[in-house]
Amino acid sequence: MKIPFTLLLAVGLFFSNFSRAGEKTIEPAGTRPNILFILTDDQGYGDWKCTGHPLLATPNVDRLAAESVRLENFQVSASCSPTRAALLTGMHEFRNGVTHTQTPRDQLWKDATTLPELLASAGYRTGFIGKWHLGNEWGYAPQDRGFQWCSTNRDGPREHFDPVMVRNCKREKVKGYREDIYFDDAMKFITESGDQPFFAYLSTYSPHDPLAAPEEFVAPFRGKVPEQQAQYLGMVANLDYNIGRIMAFLKEKGLDEKTIVVLMSDNGGTWGLDVYNANMRGCKATAWEGGTRVFSFWRWAGHWPPHQVENLTAHLDVLPTLCELSGAKIPEKLQGKLEGYSLLPLLESKKPIAWHEDRLLFQHVARWPSGLAAEHKYAMAGVRQGHYLLVRSHPCDSPKCSNENYGFQCSTLRSVNAGGKEATYTAANAAFHWGVSEPGRWSLFHLKKDPACKKDLAKSEPSRAASMAAAYDKWWDDVYPVMIERGGDLEMKWDKKLFEKKPPAKSKETEDSKAEKEPLGEKNLNS
């Protein structure tokens, strides 16, 4: 049965008056900031002019960065769905059962309390625009996880131009480029929010592959880089254009100093495209710095002085930070489970301060084939403390792990280790970015001094390496049964159609019947 949006909205508004614990909400205050959270897809740290890209001109983002607190040691997960699960819950993706980007292991644990739920309980109007990728079935879609207003396009990353939009469960064919439409929808949501404080979660598909952008954005790069890279850079240039549009919109509406703007990416630089990545080792889906360190700009004009922060921060910190800023009460049962910290002291202080200096972050690429979680304990894993990275980047030993059952990472590592190329990489660059480490031991690097991870410190600093390794073992033993219980090793079905470059054939189903089956309407075609 197709549920009318009016009913969904009514239900959302009803639940917005109560927290999950059944407590009455905090009434919105006039000083409570609006929140615009922009999450880009597969964009590396270095993909803006202000972060060092040699070809890009990104004046709007450069201006935003200059007016922001820049978190320069900000970590996320190595791929899409895990990052999204962690930032919306304040807990490691393993505790949410999200260990892959394919169904059912991309589905956010149903009992998880989410950031939009908490913000709604504090009187915020919550809107989702763009890429979700945490489950599209009933019970998992954005409108089931605390978002009162939703917009995306029907065919996900493949539908660049003239997409079929799904807005609050209603389908509409729209002319134009998808990201332009997303930003239009975000501005519409903000306008409709009126005087109510809003949380706009704007999640782009750009610059995720398949790569395509309007010609005006691609043309400046043609002849300077291969065509694929030109399209990629064109997508980034379009993001800069749209970020400029929405920042101008906030100023025009008198919301500039009333709105916190956060801009970050979901993982490191795109996999397989030999693009600039700020000289860091690694890419998306690796445990190296280039796979997990992203830009993170936090702007609140008139409140936070622009400055840079070197403390180790992460996506886990988004939820507690925004809850503190909004006045959203975190239920007592959840407080002890959160793995992030409020960033507010770092955001408010222009001078360097001590802040959770002993913090450890545990990372795992986690794209193991179904049933092989235990065999991948040490395959592509990392531990971070300060500017140190303890890493193991080698394939598992299981012969069951192969391309045919989603064992892409291990297969790639084996190929690279044998001297093979990967995607557009040369053999030398593939070896650098995928960085097969010595099996059976950890390697240690100081990333501030050695971002390319060329000098292994494991032997010269054995006590540090041993303590970080022991912490990892303890963490794995703690989180493993939780991850298994919450679906982190469920069977995935191999479907080669998901990886075809051409769009799928049109279904014979009616638009209404498809809408009934897909509450959000977004097809699960993400990698």
Q: Which amino acid is present at 203?
A: S
Instruction: Please indicate, yes or no, if residue 421 is contained in any of the structural domains.
Output: yes
Per-residue pLDDT of the chain (527 residues; tens, 9 = 90+): 434 433 333 334 333 333 333 333 334 445 799 999 999 999 999 999 999 999 999 999 999 999 999 999 999 999 999 999 999 999 999 999 999 999 999 999 999 999 999 999 999 999 999 999 999 888 999 999 999 999 999 988 899 999 999 999 999 999 999 999 999 999 999 999 999 999 999 999 999 999 999 999 999 999 999 999 999 999 999 999 999 999 999 999 999 999 999 999 999 988 778 788 888 999 999 999 999 999 999 999 999 999 999 999 999 999 999 999 999 999 999 999 999 999 999 999 999 999 999 999 999 999 999 999 999 999 999 999 999 999 999 999 999 999 888 888 899 899 988 888 888 888 888 888 887 788 889 999 999 999 899 999 999 999 999 999 999 999 999 999 999 999 999 998 755 554 444 443 433 333 433 443 445 544 443 45
Residue closest to 383 by CA, chosen among 443, 454, 319: 443
**Two tokens at 473?**
């073992």
Residue closest to 150 by CA, chosen among 12, 281, 264: 12
Strand partners, 293: 75
Residue closest to 186 by CA, chosen among 249, 134, 102, 93: 249
Instruction: Please indicate, yes or no, if residue 260 is contained in any of the structural domains.
Output: yes
> Do the bridges between strand 69-71 and strand 307-309 make them parallel or antiparallel, or are there none, so unpaired?
parallel
Residues 52 and 142 reside in one and the same domain? yes
- Domain containing residue 408: 361-485
State the pLDDT at residue 5.
36
79 Cα distance to chain centroid:
7
User: What is the DSSP code string of 403-461?
Assistant: GGGT-HHHHHHHHHHTT---TT--HHHHHHHH-PPPTTS-EEEETTT-TT--S--TTTS
Strand partners, 484: none
DSSP state, residue 45: T
Note the residue count of the chain: 527
Residues 434 and 319 reside in one and the same domain? no
State the pLDDT at residue 195.
95
Last residue of a domain, which of 318, 348, 378?
A: 348
Largest CA distance in the chain: 65
Q: How many structural domains is the chain composed of?
A: 2
Residues 281 and 411 reside in one and the same domain? no
Q: Which amino acid is present at 433?
A: H
State the pLDDT at residue 61.
98
Instruction: Please indicate, yes or no, if residue 514 is contained in any of the structural domains.
Output: no
Reported as type and span, the H/E element at residue 390 is: strand 388-392
Residue closest to 190 by CA, chosen among 258, 276, 271: 258
SS3 137: coil
Residues 129 and 179 reside in one and the same domain? yes
Residues 156 and 39 reside in one and the same domain? yes
Instruction: Please indicate, yes or no, if residue 500 is contained in any of the structural domains.
Output: no
Q: How far is CA 37 from CA 209, 214, 267, 441, 509, in A?
A: 22, 24, 16, 39, 35
Residues 239 and 311 reside in one and the same domain? yes
Which CATH number goes with the domain that contains 34?
A: 3.40.720.10
Which CATH number goes with the domain that contains 371?
A: 3.30.1120.10
β-sheet with 388-392: strand ranges across: 361-364, 381-385, 388-392, 443-446
Residues 284 and 413 reside in one and the same domain? no
